[in-house]
Amino acid sequence: MPRILNHAPWLVLAVLGAFALGTVALARGETINALWLVVAAVCTYLVSYRYYSLFIATRVMRLDPARPTPAMRHNDGLDYVPTNQYVLFGHHFAAIAGAGPLVGPVLAAQMGYLPGMLWILAGVVVAGAVQDFMILFVSMRRDGRSLGELIKAELGDIPGVIALFGTFMIMVIILAVLALVVVKALTNSPWGFFTVAATVPIALFMGIYMRFLRPGRIGEISIIGFFLLIAAILLGGQVAQSETWAPVFTLTGIQITWILIGYGFVASVLPVWLLLAPRDYLSTFLKVGTIVMLALCILLVAPPMKMPSVTRFVDGTGPVWSGSLFPFLFITIACGAVSGFHALISSGTTPKMVENELHTRFIGYGGMLTESFVAIMALVAASCIEPGIYFAMNSPPALLGTTAESAAQVINNWGFVITPEMITQTAQDVGEVSILSRAGGAPTLAVGMAQIFSDLFGGKGMMAFWYHFAILFEALFILTAVDAGTRAGRFMLQDLLGVFFKPLQRTASWAGNLIATGLCVAAWGYILYQGVVDPLGGINTFWPLFGISNQMLAGIALILATVVLFRMKRERYAWVTMVPAAWLLICTLTAGVQKVFHSNPAIGFLAHAERFSTAANEGRLLAPATSMEQMRQVIFNDYLDAALASLFVLVVLAVLVFGILSCLKALRSDRPTTREIPTGGATARAGD
Amino acid sequence: MSGLKSNLSRFRGYFEQTAKLMIGVPDYDTYLEHMRTRHPDQSAMTYTEFLDNRLQARYGAGKAGCC
């Protein structure tokens, strides 16, 4: 009897969650409060954490609290340090949280909030959190080795190299798409551009302060830096008003692109203490602080959801991104439901610092549930603004035209009530000249956040401040990711190129450094440039490509986890990773193939290329191209994108084949063949 | 009262540790303790050397960004 009583509170939670979910799902026509989503999400997280993650920990992994972790065995006070689980949770969460869970749900809101919400919740419980937890476990049992090394050890050398190459390509796409989000937010926005540009001298000042003036005072300088940022936002407002300065900071998308490319190059060859590290401090603290603030504000404001729960665009004709609900919703929302990039973090520093095997459940599974909650908040922020404003901000100019009048007319025809005055008023409220066609999630989220924050602090007069605060918050950590990513890509490339020409491998050599950095910047810069000049807005084309690659990496990570379970002779539990892996492969392969071969030019790259080729042969120009040369450029890019998408499909298929072969081999063996560090490894490297 | 105070300072300690680890800097005292007990023969890095060492580790080869 007491055993059953233990479960009673959880049953109450489950019933409450189901009721909230039912309320959200069955609301037709009437507006519901965002708190229903929050309650449904939190109950889902708690119940799945209590039962499903416990099942995985005790039955599938059989975590052993007595088994020494890498931190115990190699304790060096630096990389391997046994760390309190709450402290490590904070570290892990700060590492996995990024632009992904904020942007994806905002874009997915074009179908209404219900499909996105259901995928975020189901995805995180069954796929995302399982992946993070499993990879953390697998890496922890192998001295904290990286995903690439793990694939090499468990699947073989060839799949290891294939996966590494895939990871590099994914990183290039990710950097380009993230940079594109920043460009979209800062184009023709003197306030935004000034504020973000000001972060560079602020970071330089912090770096010099920490190096020469008061070494090691991280907390002190971070607080100073934070106040300088706020000052930069306030000053930006003045700049935007000034007749002399506003034009200086009003730049076109193409100008900003070149500035970003130059900046990315310089920033990633400078010493890290000067620019990268101080900006990383600011962006990390600002990111975590803002996320916590957003959560509190949503609870206090309890905004109504103005977006319909399901819109007519579930049929695949949406203006923000093209493609039907299946498979494209499942790749549009990547982080927040399941994200392959977390596999890199879970096999990075976190496994080296775990104090006790049992903690991985809270850090791995719990950390991803928290990230998922960030995605739910982004969905709420995007759905609590007027749907008409949402579509005005996220639809490409090819559909809306460039004036508030034309945009309002188009959006009214879609069935969302909006007047040109509402559009210009919103732009005025947030201190911008225009809010039209700012796809990419960040500005929409900023309007939503500004609305929620200003409801609590400062009223309408503060909306412009909060809008630019939100833009700064996103731009700051995206730019940090861009230059940390360029640096990481440079090392990867030097490694790769070093195979053919040895001297390039020396990461300290200036020539090798400059060449590899240049190549890396050129790769993402090229894609970024294509995205910026794309008349469909770039995000429309490239976000699906990012989603496909990111979800494919998750598929690869789950295949690895499945192979490990087979090799541990725990194949009876392998469904835990096989089911999400299968779902991800179905979604990403379908989406990948559709992106290449779909007959609708809005979806399929080849169909799009053919439409432009036919027109070019007849001597006609198609928008957005304004010359024959641009027509040829569009066609070339279509083929390039098709090649990229096909490459991802091939990479994932190859890993799948190797995965199946490894599983079959493990099945034939009568004992475990996995390559864990044995329990008795406690003294293997003691004393070093 | 003193119990509350020590709880508060412990909480502050964890808060500081978490914030620092978020930016890739582990606890310096733990490192010193480790050097004292495990490697009494070697001299430990000063705090600034320690920070520099962690900086290189965080942004060195093979580190990927977040999504």
- Is the pLDDT at A686 greater than 70? The verdict is no
Between chains, do B67 and A174 touch, taking CB under 8 Å as contact?
yes
pLDDT of residue B64: 44
Distance from CA of A77 to the nearest CA of B (A): 4
- From A88, which residue of chain B is nearest by alpha-carbon distance? B18
**pLDDT tens digit sequence for A201-259:** 999 999 999 989 988 888 899 999 999 999 999 999 999 999 999 999 999 999 999 99
Tokens encoding A322:
């093209």
pLDDT (mean) for A295-314: 93
pLDDT (mean) for A66-91: 94
pLDDT of residue B63: 47
Closest Cα partner for A167 from B60, B65, B24, B55? B65
- Is the pLDDT at A603 greater than 80? The verdict is yes
Q: Please indicate if any CB of chain A lies within 8 Å of the CB of B4.
A: no
pLDDT (mean) for A644-652: 93
pLDDT of residue A205: 96
> Percentage of chain A surpassing pLDDT 90?
67
The structure tokens 């991803």 sit at A368
- Is the pLDDT at A324 greater than 70? The verdict is yes
Q: What is the CB neighbour count within 10 angstroms for residue A570? A: 17
Q: Please indicate if any CB of chain A lies within 8 Å of the CB of B40.
A: no
Higher-confidence position of B59 and A339:
A339
pLDDT of residue A680: 60
Between chains, do A86 and B24 touch, taking CB under 8 Å as contact?
no
Q: Looking at the partner chain, which of B25, B35, B58 has a beta carbon nearest the beta carbon of A218? A: B25
DSSP B45: P
C-beta separation of A627 from A621 below 8 A: yes
pLDDT of residue A682: 45
pLDDT of residue A239: 95
Between chains, do B65 and A485 touch, taking CB under 8 Å as contact?
yes
pLDDT of residue A150: 93
Residues A112-123, buried b or exposed e (16+ Cβ, 10 A)?
bbbbbbbbbbeb
Q: Please indicate if any CB of chain B lies within 8 Å of the CB of A276.
A: yes
- Is the pLDDT at A507 greater than 70? The verdict is no
> Percentage of chain A surpassing pLDDT 70?
98
pLDDT of residue A508: 65
pLDDT of residue A1: 54
Sequence length of chain A is 688
Ramachandran category for residue B60: left, alpha or beta (phi over 0 → left; psi -120 to 50 → alpha): beta
pLDDT of residue A170: 81
Q: Looking at the partner chain, which of B19, B52, B59 has a beta carbon nearest the beta carbon of A276? A: B59
Task: For residue B62, list chain A residues with Cβ-Cβ distance below 8 A.
Answer: 146, 488, 491-492
Max Cα distance, chain A (Å): 82
pLDDT of residue A248: 94
Q: How far apart are CA B56 and CA A131, in angstroms?
A: 29
Q: Please indicate if any CB of chain A lies within 8 Å of the CB of B11.
A: no
Between chains, do B67 and A335 touch, taking CB under 8 Å as contact?
yes
- From B17, which residue of chain A is nearest by alpha-carbon distance? A87
**pLDDT tens digit sequence for A131-144:** 999 999 999 999 99
- From A217, which residue of chain B is nearest by alpha-carbon distance? B48
pLDDT of residue B61: 53
Task: For residue B65, list chain A residues with Cβ-Cβ distance below 8 A.
Answer: 98, 171, 174, 480-482, 484-485, 488
Q: How far apart are CA A357 and CA A144, in angstroms?
A: 13
Task: For residue B53, list chain A residues with Cβ-Cβ distance below 8 A.
Answer: 78
**pLDDT tens digit sequence for A410-461:** 999 999 999 999 999 999 999 999 999 888 788 998 999 898 888 888 778 8
Q: Looking at the partner chain, which of A216, A339, A495 has a beta carbon nearest the beta carbon of B67? A: A339
Closest Cα partner for A400 from A411, A413, A385? A411
Q: Please, what is the average pLDDT of chain A?
A: 90
Tokens encoding A669:
């063996």
Q: Please indicate if any CB of chain B lies within 8 Å of the CB of A79.
A: yes
Dihedral of alpha carbons A379, A382, A386, A389, sign:
negative
pLDDT of residue B67: 43
Beta carbons within 8 Å of A273's beta carbon, 6+ residues apart: A207, A210, A211, B52, B55
pLDDT of residue A495: 73
- CA B23 centroid distance within chain: 10
Beta carbons within 8 Å of A167's beta carbon, 6+ residues apart: A147, A148, A344, A492, A553, B64
- Is the pLDDT at A685 greater than 60? The verdict is no
**pLDDT tens digit sequence for A39-74:** 999 999 999 999 999 999 999 999 999 999 999 999
Beta carbons within 8 Å of A688's beta carbon, 6+ residues apart: A74, A76
> Percentage of chain B surpassing pLDDT 70?
85
Task: For residue B63, list chain A residues with Cβ-Cβ distance below 8 A.
Answer: 348, 484, 487-488
pLDDT (mean) for A357-382: 96
pTM of the model: 0.94
pLDDT of residue B62: 45
Q: How far apart are CA A575 and CA A268, in angstroms?
A: 43
Chain A, chain B: beta-carbon pairs less than 8 Å apart: 130
